[in-house]
Amino acid sequence: MSRKLRLGAFLPGGGQHVAAWRHPDQPLDGAVSLAFHQELAALAERGLFDAYFLADTLSAEIGGREGGSAKAAGFEPLTLFAALSVTTKHIGFIATASTSYEEPYHVARRFASLDMISGGRAAWNVVTSHGDGPARNFGLAAQYGHDARYARAAEHLDVVKQLWDSWDDDAFLRDRATGVYFDPEKVRPIRHEGAFFRVEGPLNAPRPPQGHPVIVQAGQSETGRDFAAASAEVIFTTQQDLASAQAFYADVKGRAAALGRASDEILIMPGLAPFIGATKAEAQAKYDALNALILPEEGIGLLNALTGGTLDLAGYPLDGPLPQAPATEGMKSRQQLLRRIADETGFSIRELYAWVATARGHLTLIGTPVEIADLMEEWLTSRGADGFNILPPWLPGGLEDFVTLVIPELQRRGIFRREYEGRSLRENLGLKRPANRWSSVGSDPGLAAE
């Protein structure tokens, strides 16, 4: 078949499951070990993953908000990925940066730098940063409202793209004989003045090798879907079944089409956390063993974090029902998902935090390599997904299981690559290189020539 799965590897060094740090095979210092992240990057590249994906927060997840010592501290993603790019050749790097608390000029320069250092393998996961914790770290009493965050994000992203385009691809001549370093006709200030930002430009970095680093987004709300349809190239989404995945897929791609974008300009990649065994019973045993390590305070802290920090469960029995959470300005879609799951299943507080402990609301799948591949193939062929972000529950074992057991099965079916297609992340994802908005240069689908 012509369509192939795209795969991201979501690899926080401390593990994805809330109790991963207690797993006997998980390094206790994994979150802050460069050597361990290098091991993970090499393993993911051996598995031919498109990209290594890292989320990020702008506050320390302590005091019961998230629960889990592995979440309290870790590397800043762009710094880490710059180091990992030196020891890898093909895998891309999706780094998270906030539009709410970071300035466009800083973001544009840092991602342009990562794209140059990595040879065209950078991507920006655009987030608006929910929660009051980050706000207080940046001089605010509370987070911006939901709609205001997205309005700021739209302008922020536009300014960043303008800055990436402030130099033509061939602006730097570096001609020793003539003494001309760059062509002044091929550089321009952007002189942006908007509701949130005033930026003169140009950027003090060349146009990135990919033109623009790949734009990734994860919004699920109505506002988030509109933002993704207008600007995202990869969408990290939360879906629990094929029907809801198909509905999301059709909705976002339909919104994009209404804005003049082609269907293949956006890749929909739901999260998938697999527990893999030679038999279903073996996979189930891995799941049960990891869930048995959950501390109740960690589970409660996780539910509070996923409901926008508004759910105080102190005094509620763990085996009783989940109380209603107050409305929040952050994590609206995730709060709605948890409420729906609790209502539909009748889960107690304890059962609900065990359910979200692995994947924070993304799909957890327990089965054999064939069963895992069956679901992935069905979602691909039925237009529920263009690929998946794989969330190994613990590391490195969960990733090793996927690379050694599931990848060969996907390749046997002809739905996953046997070698990388190109040098850049865009080439491997099948995404076009964007033209420079202010010049005719930049339409070349390959990397810009130095």
For residues 130 and 198, state if they share a domain. Answer: yes
Q: Is residue 63 part of a domain?
A: yes
Structure token digits, residue 40: 């993970």
Q: Is residue 444 part of a domain?
A: no
For residues 12 and 149, state if they share a domain. Answer: yes
Q: At 91, which CATH number?
A: 3.20.20.30
For residues 38 and 51, state if they share a domain. Answer: yes
Last residue of a domain, one of 319, 337, 356: 356
Distance from C-alpha of 111 to C-alpha of 164, rounded to nearest angstrom = 9
For residues 166 and 188, state if they share a domain. Answer: yes
Q: Is residue 131 part of a domain?
A: yes
DSSP one-letter string for 127-167: E---SHHHHHHTT-SSPPPHHHHHHHHHHHHHHHHHHHTSB
Distance from C-alpha of 424 to C-alpha of 413, rounded to nearest angstrom = 25
For residues 32 and 181, state if they share a domain. Answer: yes
Give helix then strand counts, H and E, for the chain: 15, 13
Q: Is residue 438 part of a domain?
A: no
Q: Is residue 286 part of a domain?
A: no
Residues belonging to the chain: 450
Q: Is residue 20 part of a domain?
A: yes
What H or E segment, with its residue span, contains residue 316? none
The tens digit of pLDDT for each residue in 198-231 reads 999 999 999 999 999 999 998 788 988 999 999 9
Distance from C-alpha of 358 to C-alpha of 302, rounded to nearest angstrom = 11
Beta bridge partners of 52: 9, 93
Q: Is residue 285 part of a domain?
A: no
For residues 189 and 254, state if they share a domain. Answer: yes
Last residue of a domain, one of 341, 356, 371: 356
Q: Are 97 and 111 in contact (CB under 8 A)?
A: yes
Q: Can you give the pLDDT at residue 333?
A: 67
In the predicted model, residues of the chain with pLDDT beneath 70 are: 1, 61-72, 308-310, 325, 327-334, 440-450
Last residue of a domain, one of 305, 325, 356: 356
CA-closest candidate to residue 32, choices 71, 78, 60: 71
* CA-to-CA separations, 65 to 302, 310, 394, 433, in angstroms, rounded: 6, 10, 21, 40
Q: Are 9 and 49 in contact (CB under 8 A)?
A: yes
- Tell me the residue range of the domain where 341 lies: 295-356
Structure token digits, residue 69: 């010592």
Q: Is the pTM of this model over 0.85?
A: yes
For residues 368 and 243, state if they share a domain. Answer: yes
For residues 411 and 327, state if they share a domain. Answer: no
The tens digit of pLDDT for each residue in 9-58 reads 999 999 999 999 999 999 999 999 999 999 999 999 999 999 999 998 88
For residues 334 and 414, state if they share a domain. Answer: no
What H or E segment, with its residue span, contains residue 87? none
CA-closest candidate to residue 98, choices 141, 147, 155, 156: 156
Q: Can you give the pLDDT at residue 329?
A: 59
For residues 328 and 377, state if they share a domain. Answer: no
Distance from C-alpha of 312 to C-alpha of 329, rounded to nearest angstrom = 16
For residues 188 and 314, state if they share a domain. Answer: no
**Number of domains observed in the structure of the chain:** 2
Q: Is residue 435 part of a domain?
A: no
Q: How far is CA 53 from the centre of its chain?
A: 5
Burial of 324 (0-12, 13-18, 19+ CB in 10 A): exposed
For residues 217 and 332, state if they share a domain. Answer: no
